[in-house]
Amino acid sequence: MSDRPIVVAGAGGFIGGHLVARLRAEGRPVRAVDIKPLSEWYQVFDDAENIVADLKLREECERVCAGADKVYQLAADMGGMGFIEHHKGLCMLSVLTNTHMLLAAVDARVSRFFYSSSACVYAADKQLSPDVAPLKESDAYPAMAEDGYGWEKLFSERMCRHFREDFGLATRVARYHNVYGPHGTWEGGREKAPAAICRKVIHAKHRREPTIEIWGDGSQTRSFMYIDDCIRGTLAIANSEILDPINLGSSELVTVNELVDIVEEIAGIELRRSYNLNAPKGVNGRNSDNAMIQRELGWEPSIRLREGMEQTYRWIHDEYIRKYGD
Distance CA 320, CA 102 (A): 38
- Is 245 within 8 Å of 137 (Cβ atoms)? yes
Cα torsion angle, 269, 271, 277, 279, sign: negative
Pairing between β-strand 221-223 and β-strand 253-255 as defined by DSSP bridges: antiparallel
Q: In the chain, where do the E strands start and end?
A: 6-9, 30-34, 49-52, 70-73, 112-118, 171-176, 179-180, 211-215, 221-223, 225-226, 246-248, 253-255, 272-276
Distance CA 163, CA 143 (A): 20
Catalytic residue chosen out of the listed positions 42, 122, 149, 176: 149
User: Kindly report the CA angle at 156 between 57 and 113, in degrees rounded to 5?
Assistant: 75
Q: Is 149 part of the annotated catalytic residue set? A: yes
- Is 199 within 8 Å of 141 (Cβ atoms)? no
Distance CA 179, CA 234 (A): 12
193-206 vs 305-324: helix crossing angle, rounded to 10: 50
| Burial class of residue 272 (count of CB atoms within 10 Å of its CB; 0-12, 13-18, 19+) | exposed
Distance CA 12, CA 42 (A): 6
Which residue, among 75, 58, 70, 74, has the nearest Cα to 31 in the 3D structure? 70
Distance CA 276, CA 249 (A): 27
- Is 20 within 8 Å of 45 (Cβ atoms)? yes
Q: For residue 276, which amino acid is it?
A: N
Question: What are the angstrom distances between the C-alpha of 39 and each of 12, 44, 203, 258?
Answer: 9, 9, 25, 36
> Which residues are the active-site residues?
149
